[in-house]
């Protein structure tokens, strides 16, 4: 036992417990992937290529995704920009929440950007997706503008649900939300995959859930139906290391989420490497669309902020752990370094992209703070999809009835 550990036990009544927690964190940190792999300098300076021997682990699969990944300059800059938009959008949401412009629940996606950007890059435009409440990054990737998201968070008319939904309730074509009940979106995702199969479409549904949600019974019911019916469903566990105030090591008897079903193959993926995520998603997509049934993916990622805005995120993990991930495994800076090392773009070009992103966020913030809210009468609309003629909805008391127009 080192001197620091002895001191911790002596000075604090709960020192032993703290020490155990710290050891647990060290275990988690050491099980996370390192992002380093050798970047080959393409002679033309037009492609970024490298080997990712440690980016995947396989369950019930003889062959996995290619361990050689690459992208061209255009793709590289696009992925960088999208990850940066998500990062800055969440930073803006964090600030607006702290100034009380955003109320209610709000769960930020910062740290997990490579998952949504890498997966989307491998998706077909008609594939579907459903996720939990940590939905802002995915909402952007599924086609909603930053204004649509930030204005939704502040409850403005220009929000993607006209300010009716807020953080957890955002939707777009083929994007089924934003769901607040832990794990409940997983069987819904299997249902959407069933719809693709029933209609004879060669598309998949991606159903995302967290490491905490992975212990829900309904997740296993969904696995069962998906396998029985050979549904084109990719079950994706975004393992960010923690549930609500609890580490995966404390909450999961088997924290290897990609092995959690004995009849569905699984892949563990370095979720901090955008190109590895894209490659693994291509592989899973090909598997599902070729009629082999569902697949499970575990994305090893990290969450920088607390669980939600009410959680400072430091009581169950150390600040050092968070800083360490930011320094050594950040999905955005590590990708930028690789692109620069491969001579695909210069530092200057990245600065220009950062400025463009800054403008997009500022413009969206402006809308989120100044656009009008819905008129209170509008709260009666969008209750039924096929309302009868002259239909009236009762208000909060027995005497108020409102005729609705839509």
Ligand X SMILES: Cc1ncc(C[n+]2csc(CCOP(=O)(O)OP(=O)(O)O)c2C)c(N)n1
Residues that bind ligand X (CB under 6 A): 134, 180-182, 210-213, 240, 242-244, 303, 307
Among ligand X, Mg ion, none, residue 180 binds (CB under 5-8 Å by kind): ligand X
Among ligand X, Mg ion, none, residue 244 binds (CB under 5-8 Å by kind): ligand X
State the nearest-atom distance from the C-beta of 111 to Mg ion, in Å. 11
State the Cα–Cα distance between residues 139 and 25, nearest whole angstrom: 31
Among Mg ion, ligand X, none, residue 134 binds (CB under 5-8 Å by kind): ligand X
State the nearest-atom distance from the C-beta of 238 to ligand X, in Å. 6
Nearer to Mg ion by C-beta: 120 or 307? Answer: 307
Q: Which residue is nearest to ligand X (CB)?
A: 210
Q: What angle do CA 166, 368, 111 make, to 5 degrees?
A: 65
Q: Contact, 171 vs 177, CB < 8 A?
A: yes
- Give, for 70, the enclosing helix (H) or strand (E): strand 68-72
State the Cα–Cα distance between residues 161 and 88, nearest whole angstrom: 21
State the Cα–Cα distance between residues 58 and 163, nearest whole angstrom: 42
State the nearest-atom distance from the C-beta of 305 to ligand X, in Å. 10
Nearer to Mg ion by C-beta: 214 or 342? Answer: 214
Q: Contact, 127 vs 204, CB < 8 A?
A: yes
State the nearest-atom distance from the C-beta of 174 to Mg ion, in Å. 24
State the nearest-atom distance from the C-beta of 193 to Mg ion, in Å. 23
State the nearest-atom distance from the C-beta of 244 to ligand X, in Å. 4
Nearer to ligand X by C-beta: 213 or 339? Answer: 213
What's the 3-state SS for 165-216? CCCCCCCECCECCCCCCCCCHHHHHHHHHHHHHHCCCCCCEEEEEECCHHHC
Beta-strand pair 392-394/39-41: unpaired
State the Cα–Cα distance between residues 48 and 76, nearest whole angstrom: 8
Nearer to ligand X by C-beta: 57 or 307? Answer: 307
Nearer to ligand X by C-beta: 77 or 182? Answer: 182
x/- mask, Mg ion, residues 183-212, rule CB under 5 A, reads ---------------------------xx-
Question: Which residues are at the interface with Mg ion (CB under 5 A)?
Answer: 210-211, 240
């Amino acid at each position: 036992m080192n001197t620091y550990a002895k001191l911790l036990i002596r000075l604090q009544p709960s020192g032993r417990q703290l020490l155990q927690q710290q050891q647990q964190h060290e275990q988690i940190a050491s099980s996370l992937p390192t992002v380093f792999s050798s970047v080959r300098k393409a002679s033309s300076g037009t492609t970024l290529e490298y080997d990712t021997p440690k980016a995947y682990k396989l369950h019930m699969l003889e062959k996995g995704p290619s361990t050689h990944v690459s992208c061209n300059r255009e793709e590289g800059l696009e992925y960088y920009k999208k990850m940066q938009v998500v990062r800055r959008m969440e930073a803006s949401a964090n600030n607006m929440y702290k100034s009380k412009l955003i109320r209610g629940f709000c769960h930020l996606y910062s740290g997990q950007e490579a998952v949504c950007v890498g997966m989307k890059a491998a998706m077909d435009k008609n594939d579907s997706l459903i996720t939990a409440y940590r939905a802002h990054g995915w909402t952007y990737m599924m086609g909603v503008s930053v204004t649509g998201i930030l204005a939704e968070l502040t409850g403005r008319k220009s929000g993607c649900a006209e300010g009716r939904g807020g953080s957890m309730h955002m939707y777009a074509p083929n994007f089924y939300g934003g769901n607040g009940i832990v794990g409940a979106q997983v069987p819904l995702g299997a249902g959407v995959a069933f719809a693709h199969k029933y209609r004879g479409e060669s598309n998949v549904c991606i159903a995302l859930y967290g490491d905490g949600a992975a212990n829900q019974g309904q997740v296993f019911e969904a696995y069962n139906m998906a396998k029985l019916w050979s549904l084109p469903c990719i079950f994706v566990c975004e393992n960010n290391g923690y549930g609500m105030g609890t580490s995966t090591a404390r909450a999961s008897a088997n924290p290897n989420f990609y092995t959690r079903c004995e009849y569905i193959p699984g892949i563990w993926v370095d979720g901090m490497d955008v190109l590895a995520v894209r490659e693994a998603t291509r592989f899973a997509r090909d598997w599902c669309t070729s009629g082999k049934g569902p697949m499970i993916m575990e994305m090893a990622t990290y969450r920088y902020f607390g669980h939600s805005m009410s959680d400072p995120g430091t009581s169950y993990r150390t600040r050092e752990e968070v800083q360490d991930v930011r320094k050594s495994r950040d999905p955005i800076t590590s990708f930028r370094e690789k692109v620069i090392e491969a001579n695909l773009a210069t530092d200057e070009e990245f600065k220009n992209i950062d400025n463009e992103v800054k403008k997009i966020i500022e413009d969206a913030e402006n809308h989120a703070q100044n656009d009008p809210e819905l008129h209170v009468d509008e709260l009666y609309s969008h209750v039924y999809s096929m309302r009868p003629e002259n239909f009236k909805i009762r208000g909060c008391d027995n005497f108020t009835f409102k005729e609705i127009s839509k």
